[in-house]
Structure formats: C-alpha cells, structure tokens
Chain A
Amino acid sequence: MTEVYQKLEKIVSEKSLSNNIYVRHAYSRNVDPLLQGVPDIVILPKDTKEISEIFKIANEEDINVIPRGGGDCEFGGSKPIGDGGIVLDMKRMNKILNLDEENLIVTVEAGISWGKLNEYLSQFGLYTGCMGPGSGMTASIGGGISHHSVGGGGCAKYGACTNQLVSLEVVLPTGEIIETGSQANKYSKFPFNRFGNGPDLAGLFCGDNGILGVKTKVSLQVFPRPPFADYKTFLLPRKSAEVSANILTEIRHKGIDVYDAMYIPDVVVSVASKLGCFPLWEKVKRKRGMFFYTIEANSERELEEKTKQLDDIILSKKTENLGPEISDGNYAKWHYVEQGHWQTYHNLWGMYPALEPLTAECFTPINTFPTILSDIDQWDMEHSEDIAKIFEITRTRPITGSGPILLIDGNNVELTCGFTSFGSFFNGERHEIIDEINLKLWKSILERVTKWGVQWYMMGEFMSRLMVEIGAYSTEFYNFMKNIKNTLDPKNILSRGKYNFK
C-alpha cells in the first residue's frame, strides 16, 4: 500500500490524502450500528481530473474505490465492504458553478449538500423542488442522484432527487470523463436537457448506488418557490394505515399537486409521545396515526381552492384537524416553516439512548403499504424470542415498523422499514450476541418486505447484496446489470462488493 500511497501523492495534495488509522476509522461506518469497513486510504479530491487520475492508479494497482458524499447511508453504502480500498470523500467538491436564472438550471459540484445548495437558491426565491434525501440536508447532491433518493421534502410534487436532473459529468471507473444529455453535443454551450442525443445515459448513473461512475458535476432544474403555502396535521381514526392510503389515493385521483403528504404510523406516535418527543400532541387523547400535508400556490385564491379540495378528502374520513399552530399539534407547519425539510426519521432514531436504525428504504404502490405494515407487525410477533434476547441486555425492546410514510411522484409511497435496535457496545460492555441477532433479524425482515415486491432505492452494502443472496433479482435484469458493470468497470474497481459483483 505504501507504493500506491506514493503514486497518489504525486497527483493529490498532501493535505487531502491520508492513511492515518484514525482518519480511516472516521470513514469506516455509516449510520447503522453494524456494518464497518476500514479503508486503507482516504482522499478529499479537488476536481474531476484528480478523480480520473486516481482511477487510473486504482486500475493499475487493482484497488477498490468507494465514493462517499454526505455519508448518510443507513446500510453501509459509502464505506468499504470489508476492509481496504480508497474512500473518495466528495465533500470538498462543493462549489456552485453556475446558476442560470433565465433557464432555471443550477450546475454544482456533486459533493455539495442539498442544504447548502438550497440555502444558496433561497436567496433567489428558488429551490430544488425535491429538497433532497430524507437522510438529511447534509446528504450530497451526488449521493441523492446515486440513489433516486426521496424524503427531504417536496417529493409528492417534484418526485425523487433524480427527477430534476438535467445533466451529469461522470468519471467512469476506468478514468474516462463523460457528460450526458445536452452536453453530449460538443457544441452545446450549457446544460439544458437530459433527454436526447441518443439514449438517456444519465439515467444509467441515476440510482446506480455508486457502482458505475463517480458523479462530479450535476446540473439540476430549479423552481421558483411559490409564495403561498398551507400545512395541516390531522389525527386519523382507527385503521389509520388504510385510511391514510385511501386519502393518498384520492389525492392522486383528483390530481391535486400536493407538495408533501405524510402518514405517521400509530406506533411512532404512541411510543415517541410516551418518551416525550412530541409535546405538541400531549393534548391528543388517543395517540393514533397522524396525517399531514403541505400545499403550495401562486395566489391566495389558488391556495384556498387547493386546501379546500384536500380538506374535503381528509375530513370525510373521520379525521380531526389539530389546528393551525405548531402548539396545536400542527407538525406539518414545524417541518415546512421551521425545519424546511422532512428529516423526521432522525428525530425518532434517538428516542432511547443508543437506539440505532436497522432499516432500509423502498418504494411501493400506495395501495400496498397497509398490508406490508401489517405483515411487519406479524414478523415482529414471529421473532419475539430473538427480540427478547436483546431486551434482556438493554432492558428496552427494539421497535419494529416503519417511520413516516410519504407520498412520492406517481402513485407510490416511500417506506423506511425494519427495526431499531442497539449496537453491541452497550452500557460500557461489548455484547457480541446483539450483533448476531441484529444481523439475522435485519436480513429476515428485509427479505420479508422484499417478497412484497417493493423497490429498494438506497441499497448500500446491505440491500444490494441481500437482493442477490435471496434470489430476488430476475436473472435477466441481474445479468444485464452485471454486463454493464463489466463493460464500464472491467476490474470491478468501483464500490467493490455491492450487488455481489465479482
């Protein structure tokens, strides 16, 4: 590895390159408590050219390269699978390269966070529409594109992070640099459209989970933020999952362009309220599921009309509007006005000391999620013996279920499901059995959910391999994906181990 390091020193500044053991361990984990892989080297690349050169060395030396954006994956996506390799920390490449206010297109380096970009855009009355992944405003633009991420806000109206994509600059695993969309035409002066000039090659890299290329430059469509908005929160009646699914379906059938709509399951409301997370719902007697929406408009009249349409749908289902203010219970207002995004999940993971997520994120049609949630409850009962073993050590029972379920583009919802458990290091002692049970249960629950036909989007180490291991991929799709990978990355340099590609 010394020889590789010496080669890298010739192309990367000394300050941005490290093989220090502590630096490497800082890059060895993501959000989950279980998966760890310590890289040999960490680099903060300066630009596209540097990344291209790094790949050339990696190919010569047959070394794994792992891109890392915000590092917010919950399932080991932006750290090595096993130890070794080079982590490219993209956060240094965080410049806003151009804002084309006339054509409403922003071009950025892919390491910039959704938070920082939106902070910049807000000065011009603009936003990215889809405000980024639910994993946080810290998440990078490149990471959001690499995963079709959703959950940062605006996904019901604008869809996933990739829906607004105009063009990409990508470094291929062999070191070549390509630009997609309108930029495929060498005479094009600026990025303006994703589709055309041949197949949608940007699409190849959207949701690739970082296996086909490193995104270095991204052009996104941006939108004027409408000046009017309303946001309401409703207490749902019994069978809240089914009721919320009916509401979401009806919203779609009536074609209302709701900005966000979200269902918080009963278990989340009751447990989090009990633990003091939601003083705003203290007055609510029956701690059942909640539903909330945000709607935007260009005029008061338009807002009034849209709000009326939404309220007619929601109130017809025996729901109760909790009132306009946050203190009345209006969670939606807190998110839209004070937070500016929908990072509810993180708030919930920390409900107990040391509670951490063992989950994954998928899309599923609106009308399927109540059944899936019910089956997750059933799974929990079936695995109570193993769960009890964790309880015996931690005295807190892991919680199985789903975080808030949100409407995304089309007739789909996003489901973050699994269970929250504890790391093996608990109260000053190492309990290896916790890791063993966690791993077993994590695989088990996600296999169960996979068999409902869901579509995992942010797959990381865990889901990308599990899908292969349980034989969930159609043979034709998997082989096609493998062929593309082999063509672009013959030595399997990039994100080695994902999808079990050899």
Chain B
Amino acid sequence: MCLKLQKGCGDCGYAIRPAVGRFLTCPVKEAKGEAAFEIFFARGRMGVLKSILEEKIPLSKDLAEFVYQCSECGNCNEVCHQTQNENIVLNTSKWIDHVEVWNALRKDLVEEGFAPLDKHAKLIEYMNNPDMRNPYGEEKAKKIEWFSEFSNVKDKGDLVFYAGCTYPLRQSITLKNMMKILQASGKEIAISRDEWCCGSVSLRIGDEKAVMENLNHNIEEFKKMGAKTLFTACAGCYRTLKKDYPELLGEELPFEVKHVTEILIDMLKNNEIPFKAEEGDLLKVTYHDPCHLGRHMDLYDIPREVIYKIPGIELIEMKRTRKNAWCCGAGGGVKSQFPELAIDIAKDRIMEAIETDAKVLLTSCPFCDTNLSDAIKEMGPEVQDKIQLMDIIDFIASKM
C-alpha cells in the first residue's frame, strides 16, 4: 500500500520545523528531546520508506516500534502543503498526504504480521470480543448504563446519538451533561443499546480488516433505528463514521453524520439553551483543536462559534491554532502504547494554553481530554491552579 502513496516527497525538510508562523512541526520530535532522531519525524520516515521500497531494508517488528510513535496528528502534512494563501498552490498537496502514508505503512506492518504491538493488539482483541465490543475490555452492558437515568431516550428516531466507548466508559458525566443540555431544549434523541465500537482504534493502528464487522453492524443498527442524522461527541468516532466508513464501504452512508458541536450551535442560534445570568469580568478561555476534528475533518469554526455564544467568556486563541494546532499527543495509538510520550507532548500544549492567560482550556475530544488531564495531574498543583481543563459540553452545562 505504501508503495503507491510515497511519491514525490523531496525530503526538503519543511516538515521538520517551522516556516515562519508555524512554530515547530512535529510534536513527537519535540517531545523526544535528546532522542529526537529523524526517524521520529516526517523527512526521516520518508527516507526510511524509500529504502524499504528499494528493498534495502525490510519491514519488521523493530520498525513498528518507531512507526507507532506518531500521533498521526497531520501537522507535518499541513506544513508541507500550506502556502497560507489560496493564490499560491504547492502541488505536493495534490499527491502527498503524510498521514495516509504513515497509515499505509501501518497497514503493511499489520499485513506482514509485525503489528499490532502488544497493547494495541489487546485493544483490538477487546473490540472484537462479542461480550465487550469496546477497546477498554469492559462488559458490553456497562456501555449503556450512563443513560439509564434518562427515561426519555428513544429506541428509534431521526436523530440518533452515537456514544462511542470512551465517553460512556470513562467520562460518562460529560454525556449526562449533554443530556441535560438536550433536555433543556426539549430535544429528543434515540440511542442504541447495541452500538459497537466504531473501530477508530483498529483503523489508526492499521488493521482495516478488524473494523469491517463493527462497521457493518453499526450501520445496520442505525438504519434499523431510522436514523436520518447520527451525531457523536467523540472526535475520533466522528472522523471514523463520517470519513472512514464511506471510504471503506465505497459509498455514502444512508444518514448524515454530525459532531455534537454542530447540534449545539443550532440550539445556541435558536436560544434553546437557558444560560445563567453572568456577572463580573469575562472568563478567559482557550480552545484546543482536536486533530480528528480539525486537521482531519476541517471542523474549526463550529466549535469556536459554540464557545463565542456562551455568555460571560472571552476566547483567546493559543499561538498554534487551527491547522497548526499542537497535538495533545494521544492520537494514533500513542496514548495506549507509549503513554509517557503522549503525556510529554500534552505538557507542551498545557504550557501553551497557560501562556494565553486563559483560566479554562476547552476541548471537544475525550482522548485529548484524558491525555491533557493526565498531563496536568503530572505537572502538579502549580499548573493545576493556573488552568482548568473542560469539555465544551461540561462547560456549557456549568453555565446553565
């Protein structure tokens, strides 16, 4: 697969470090510090790929250990492709997609039996276990516990919510807050009692085959429920459902897929969310673009529009934002296989958020949330006193 994709990288080195205003390129490279060999970032990887294609070095388990130390955030792709102006086009943007290349290499490693790595393999095993169907190894029934207290959740309907695995199993309070917001506006939703993991985990790892059963099951389930719109609060599920599913199927889905912020913005525009009256100074907040929402799906404006509409706050952007937002470090399977690396990357992002003088760091992805939160904990009370991390949903709920 990677044979087809690795064409035209000139090894220019753009994707290593900054062009002006891009403030560094690869979070893994920066986090690696004294061990930041070029194999950990784009140019070195492209060089290794060339050697593989020329049959000078083989695929191996050893290679996999390097390849999976990448959050697939896509910043290298942006730096390589971006002119920052539509009037000048870098033609490389038409045929090199770094993330696709990295992912193709992962697929090759899986196909040749050198991947998944041990912790990744466990995630996939859990995901495909009929008693679990989630990568956390939790019993299936546990995934639907969170909405047992909401009697108005329907079994069928036009608007179906896909909870995914991380929110219901690790951050169910956020989903409960979401229900509180939806209920306040009288919006009714349907939720499946038998949704399976979307398969994002195995797709990022490069095991495409492992996801097909989940994909087919989920689509049938949502069709049976009569879904016209399927929405999710998880950035990873959003990318998988909206981008990967149609690509894997080779056809459009029979329903539209939205991120929760796209639902929230409509509610906010219609004044359907009853906020508390705000007094005093504006609260400074900043927003971290999750890679799976931003660079991967181009969803930059709507989360910001949502934030702007929350009363009593001032949104201050971080230095690296939108297309060049610094990754939290959790993606691409890094959090599960290389947790220390993930936290090292996250620490950098936390410091950047603190530099804005914001008191609240908002995000809209449970993986970013978990990893940034772990970093804050590790950074200690001094940092914990300076900034509070919140999901946009929880933040809205706190203002109602």
Contact = CB atoms under 8 A, between A and B. Distances in A.
A29 B10 contact: no
B276 interface: no
Contacts of B17: 70, 113, 115-116, 137-138
B39 A22 contact: yes
A139 B13 contact: yes
Contacts of A419: none
B50 interface: yes
Interface string B19-52: 1110110000000011111110001110110110
A12 B221 CA distance: 57
B88 A16 contact: no
A354 B7 contact: yes
A115 B45 CA distance: 22
Contact of B4 (A13, A115, A346, A428): A428
A138 B85 CA distance: 21
A275 B19 contact: no
A31 B18 contact: no
Interface stretch (A208-216, A336-344, A437-445): A336-344
Contacts of A116: 17-18, 24
A136 B12 contact: yes
Interface stretch (A162-170, A240-248, A326-334): A326-334
B230 to A, nearest CB: 36
B308 interface: no
Given A326-B85, A353-B8, A119 B38 contact: no
A229 interface: no
Interface stretch (B54-62, B197-205, B242-250): B54-62
B89 A277 contact: yes
Interface of B: 3-4, 7-8, 10-14, 16-21, 23-24, 33-39, 43-45, 47-48, 50-51, 53-57, 62-63, 66, 83-92, 95-96
Given A334-B87, A340-B19, A353-B96, 20 more contacts: A16-B34, A22-B57, A27-B47, A31-B12, A70-B17, A89-B38, A116-B18, A137-B20, A279-B86, A279-B87, A326-B88, A334-B85, A338-B84, A339-B19, A341-B19, A343-B14, A353-B7, A353-B95, A430-B54, A430-B55
Nearest to A331: B88
A89 B19 CA distance: 20
29 contacts: A16-B34, A18-B37, A21-B62, A25-B48, A25-B51, A28-B47, A28-B51, A29-B11, A44-B34, A70-B17, A91-B36, A119-B23, A135-B13, A138-B17, A138-B18, A139-B13, A277-B91, A279-B87, A331-B88, A339-B19, A341-B19, A343-B14, A346-B14, A347-B88, A350-B8, A352-B8, A355-B10, A427-B7, A430-B55
Given A113-B18, A347-B88, A138 B13 contact: yes
A338 B21 CA distance: 9
The 3 A-B pairs at the shortest CB distance, nearest first, are namely A340-B20, A26-B44, A350-B92
A26 to B, nearest CB: 3
A69 to B, nearest CB: 10
B53 A425 contact: yes
Nearest to A430: B54
B36 A44 contact: yes
Given A334-B87, A340-B21, A356-B10, A26 B16 contact: no
Contacts of B18: 113, 115-116, 119, 137-138
Interface string A415-455: 00000000111011010000000000000000000000000
A26 B48 contact: yes
Interface in A279-307: 279-280
A347 B43 contact: no
B108 to A, nearest CB: 13
Size bin of chain A's contact surface: 35 or more
A67 interface: no
Nearest to B86: A279
Interface of A: 13, 15-16, 18, 20-23, 25-31, 36, 42, 44, 46, 70-72, 89, 91-92, 113, 115-116, 118-119, 135-139, 275-280, 326-327, 331, 334, 338-341, 343, 346-347, 349-357, 423-425, 427-428, 430
B320 to A, nearest CB: 12
Contacts of A423: 50
Given A71-B43, A119-B20, A26 B37 contact: yes
Contact of B90 (A280, A350, A354, A427): A350
B50 A351 contact: no
Nearest to B43: A71
B74 to A, nearest CB: 18
A31 B90 CA distance: 17
A334 B57 contact: no
Nearest to B40: A26
Nearest to A31: B11
Contacts of B92: 350
A118 B3 CA distance: 38
Contacts of A71: 13, 38, 43
Contact of A70 (B16, B21, B56): B16
A16 B35 CA distance: 5
A31 B10 contact: yes
A136 B39 contact: no
Contact of A29 (B23, B37, B47): B47
Contacts of A331: 88
B141 to A, nearest CB: 44
A441 B53 CA distance: 24
Contact of A27 (B36, B44, B91): B44
Contacts of B86: 279
A346 B10 CA distance: 8
Contacts of A279: 86-89
A343 B19 contact: yes
B37 A428 contact: no
B37 A44 contact: yes
Contacts of B47: 25-29
Given A115-B20, A339-B20, A277 B50 contact: no
A139 B248 CA distance: 40
A357 B92 CA distance: 14
A22 B60 CA distance: 10
A277 B88 contact: yes
Contact of A276 (B20, B44, B91): B91
Contact of A118 (B20, B39, B44, B50): B20
B50 A278 contact: no
A281 B212 CA distance: 47
